[in-house]
Amino acid sequence: MADVDLVKNSEVTNGCTKGLSDPYVPSKIIQKKRDGEGMTKKEMEWFIREVSELEGGSFTDAQIGAWLMASYLKGFSSEEISWMTEAMMHSGDILQWPAEFKGHLVDKHSTGGVGDKISLPLAPALAACGLKVPMISGRGLAHTGGTLDKLESIPNFQVTNFKQSDMNQMLRDVGCFIIGQSGNLVPADKKLYAVRDITATVNSIPLITSSIMSKKAAESLDALVLDVKCGKAAFMQDFNSSKQLAEKMVNAGSSLGMKMVALITQMDNPIGRAIGNAIEVAESLQCLQGNGDPDLLELVYALGSHLMAASGHVKSIEEGESKLKSVLDDGSALEKFKDMVIAQGVKPSLAQRLVDVDLTDIDNIWSVLDKSENVTDIKTTAGGYVSEIDAISLAVVAKELGAGREEEGAPIDHTVGLRLYVSRGSHIKEGELWVRVYHQSKLTQDHIHQIKGALTLSSDPVDKKSRIIQVVSA
């Protein structure tokens, strides 16, 4: 079957053709939002179209900022969120897939967390279950790298400059890929986010919803699962805000024809036992080798099984979990990971070494990937049961050592990371090793103090709680 090219929306956007006289005035649109009046669908389409114009748009940055602040303060109706999401989706290219993929196209989105490497084992596991996973991910800001940064720990792994025909071929041959956003996918979001960033309007739930869901809708997905983090190490720290965001994203995605489900998940303690970039690739490979940490596996199984059920590929969550366990245990998901990294530029010999390395001891990964010059072991000063591991404290240390970035485009040191030897509920004796730090620059006394302070012990046994707080469906 011939490849289908991108649909171009630069000339016509939702029926609004360039060159027609503008029916609206920026100041009037701003005034409506300022006064709490709802915008019409046509007004929203016009606003997004004008914002998307690189040259000649009707709105100045100051006017966009005024509209964003008015929207932040006055809010949106559900219809406005859906209209904005749809208009943003149509502001640039939309991926169009061959008909043979219809009904099988799925993806997962996370609001971000510490140690969040779920996409790395989940995408190939879903592909091994027969789904098509066109995963478009991002780079991390602040604490640690994003999904793309983690994968770039693997030499020659490519995340950019893929044409539609390349993506089609990877889905045919492998069933999944993990790449970066192309330059003309939802350009309205790039413009709006740049202004949101300098006008203190980033954490508006309706604006977050439209930003995330417009990009996912532009992937032309059949189904999407959302991992909405909630807790001290999450963007949304309280449950009510997390639930509101989950509900609005599910509703917005459903209005655009995607089958939607969201899981609100706990994000106080680090996910799994690795924080960083290369070290999280290693933990992901552990999972794909059938030896995953239970904490990591819980999220892989939960997100994957709910997605498979929402998309109609299994009749129950239990059936979905059973299929995922099977492909992780029999090595077929690991084989998909190998095929994916080869398709994205990694030499076959290196890819084979990656999947063959014995990760019973995760430190064996350094025989394949670059290793930091320095390793520092930190031991406990007391014994007891682990009641909490402060994910943010550890993430801040990782960032300061080079695992994260403050500004877009800044370099990341893939070798920096932390390996945990305990998890919530573990028992540890005084003087035992609980975290190993991989670093290039000096580990200061402040870093050591912060790491030690991240561990909270109890004299009484601590139950291991599920990370799944609530499931939100359409």
In whole angstroms, give the CA distance from residue 243 to residue 230. Answer: 9
Single out the residue of 219, 173, 160 nearest to residue 7, CA to CA.
Answer: 219
In whole angstroms, give the CA distance from residue 275 to residue 145. Answer: 10
Under DSSP, is residue 391 helix (H, G, I), strand (E, B) or coil?
helix
259 a catalytic residue: no
What does the pLDDT profile of the chain (474 residues) look like in tens digits? 334 344 444 333 333 334 334 568 899 999 999 999 999 999 999 999 999 875 557 899 999 999 999 999 999 999 999 999 999 999 999 999 999 999 999 999 999 899 999 999 999 999 999 999 999 998 876 677 899 999 999 999 999 999 999 999 999 999 999 999 877 899 999 899 999 989 999 989 999 999 999 999 999 999 999 999 999 999 889 999 999 999 999 999 999 999 999 999 999 999 999 999 999 999 999 999 999 999 999 999 999 999 999 999 999 999 999 999 999 999 999 999 999 999 999 999 999 999 999 999 999 999 999 999 999 999 999 999 999 999 999 999 999 999 998 887 889 999 999 999 999 999 999 999 999 999 999 999 999 999 999 999 999 999 989 999 999 998
In whole angstroms, give the CA distance from residue 345 to residue 317. Answer: 35
Q: Token pair of 101, please? A: 């993929």
Tell me which of 3.40.1030.10, 2.120.10.30, 3.40.50.720, 3.90.550.10 is the CATH number of domain 99-352.
3.40.1030.10
In whole angstroms, give the CA distance from residue 347 to residue 381. Answer: 45
Q: Which CATH architecture has domain 12-89?
A: Up-down Bundle (1.20)
Q: Catalytic residue, from 107, 189, 293, 295: name it.
A: 189
pLDDT value for 54? 58
Positive or negative torsion for Cα 242, 395, 404, 468:
negative
Under DSSP, is residue 377 helix (H, G, I), strand (E, B) or coil?
strand
116 a catalytic residue: no
Positive or negative torsion for Cα 332, 218, 276, 272:
negative
In whole angstroms, give the CA distance from residue 448 to residue 436. Answer: 11
Single out the residue of 337, 269, 294 nearest to residue 128, CA to CA.
Answer: 337
Single out the residue of 399, 406, 414, 394 nearest to residue 455, CA to CA.
Answer: 394
Q: Where are the domains of the chain?
A: 12-89, 99-352, 373-458
- Any idea what the Cα angle at residue 235 is, between residues 232 and 240, rounded to 5°? 80
Q: Catalytic residue, from 33, 104, 215, 248: name it.
A: 215
pLDDT value for 20? 39
pLDDT value for 183? 73
463 a catalytic residue: no
Single out the residue of 256, 327, 230 nearest to residue 287, CA to CA.
Answer: 327
Q: Token pair of 206, please? A: 């309706």
Q: Token pair of 418, please? A: 């932390």
pLDDT value for 4? 39
In whole angstroms, give the CA distance from residue 87 to residue 45. Answer: 5
Q: Token pair of 455, please? A: 């561990």
108 a catalytic residue: no
pLDDT value for 141? 62
Residue at token pair 């006055």: 74
**217: Cβ contacts below 8 Å, ≥ 6 apart:** 85, 86, 89, 253, 256, 258
**464: Cβ contacts below 8 Å, ≥ 6 apart:** 423, 424, 425
| Per-state percent for the chain, helix, strand, coil, to nearest 5 | 45, 15, 40
Q: Catalytic residue, from 109, 306, 336, 467: name it.
A: 109
| CATH class for the region spanning 373-458 | alpha beta
Q: Catalytic residue, from 52, 211, 305, 311: name it.
A: 211
Positive or negative torsion for Cα 195, 198, 204, 208:
positive
172 a catalytic residue: no
**310: Cβ contacts below 8 Å, ≥ 6 apart:** 223, 225, 259, 260, 261, 473
